[in-house]
Structure 1
């Protein structure tokens, strides 16, 4: 898939087939995440790949949202990736904690790679961190940043409408609308 096709095809998927994730495809997804940049190349994050049903059921209990779809996606998907980071292994500049940025970049590389490999994902960050830490024996100095189920897609879903460039992109100053090459 071409890069921009990957970006356009990535959607938040919550219905999965039970087919295990292919090991070669997973290796490429992991490699993509490991190629992501990090603040001063400190790489404060780690990935935990969970495919045991007992742990997936425990993780699903940590989801905090208004319906059960995200929790159910963790139960149904053959695997879930959990991104954790040690805040002390990264930097902070003007109250910006770079472990969050570094983890998000790595997760995005992973998610886009999964899309390229034909898998669905759903970035989930509304979680009860303590439940996940206990279920996966994560050391206390680590923070759970985000999780995503991974698997073959079992739903047809349209992408959300593209954001209006005029509302979100400016040229040189805050009040100067960007109008070049917008589609």
Structure 2
């Protein structure tokens, strides 16, 4: 189930321009005399009415302080004050108003938060993380990640994959040195996970393992954790160290932890027409 919060307005077109152009929302549904906007997984709408609803606060939150600073530059002239830290709630935020005087808040949570990403945000804004906060990951978060990850599809529903948790610091350090700088991110995280598959259960064990690994990576990002796909770890020495049966396949060994920071801008992507061949 989802929901929408509506506000009364008598200035619909100005609000459309403001929220679409200034705030960066998309029009989710235009019904003529009312418009519903989408920002991440937030749905909110304005309906033409005689009375204007100005109560409450519309809050938009971002992945890092830099994004808050960037949006502040757009509203510098009307902001109540520059962005600042609220120690009580551990947020970095500022306030401004929309054209009808509604209070808007733009903020960043300066601590891990529960899952909130929309589907398109999850797929388009996931980033590889190479530096991590050295904080132990709560077991309840790990449980949620693996509960979602077990639904990764496999050939003929073989369910041939599994996840090997690595918490021993000496083992993590050893793994981080197997491929030089390419595997170094493993050593920056509080734990690592090897995503493996059993060829005795599936003829398509390589595909099964890789799909499971990506499912895991998305699940981790959805729950606020960073990963980094470390390739070419399907090695005899690695399997002996963990230990993993020699005939099993290691799709990746990824670091896992809360990101120290999240890259602000995505890497440059080619246009859609390059990927779609007719």
Distance 2:249 2:131 in 1: 27
Partner of 2:216: 110
| Superposition TM-score, scaled by structure 1 size | 0.81
Task: Report how many aligned residue pairs link the two structures.
Answer: 161
Larger Rg: 2
Partner of 1:141: 247
RMSD: 1.6
Spell out the pairing of 1:1-183 with structure 2 (5 A cutoff): 1-63=117-179, 68=181, 70-91=182-203, 98-127=204-233, 129-157=235-263, 158-170=265-277, 176=278
Local SS of the residue matching 2:226: strand
Structure 2 residues without counterparts, runs of 5 or longer? 1-116
Give, in angstroms, the shift of residue 111 of structure 1.
0.6
Give, in angstroms, the shift of residue 105 of structure 1.
1.4
Give, in angstroms, the shift of residue 164 of structure 1.
1.7
Distance 2:230 2:270 in 1: 21
Contact 1:9 1:115 in 2 (8 A): no
User: Any runs of at least 4 consecutive aligned residues in structure 1 with deviations exceeding 3 A, and if so which?
Assistant: none
| Superposition TM-score, scaled by structure 2 size | 0.55
Question: Structure 2 vs 1, CA of residues 7 and 61 (structure 1 numbering), >3 Å: closer, same or farther?
Answer: same
Contact 1:77 1:150 in 2 (8 A): yes
Larger RCO (alpha carbons 8 Å, 6+ apart): 1
Structure 1 residues without counterparts, runs of 5 or longer? 92-97, 171-175, 177-183
Deviates more, 1:121-130 or 1:2-11: 121-130
Higher normalized helix content (fraction of residues) = 1
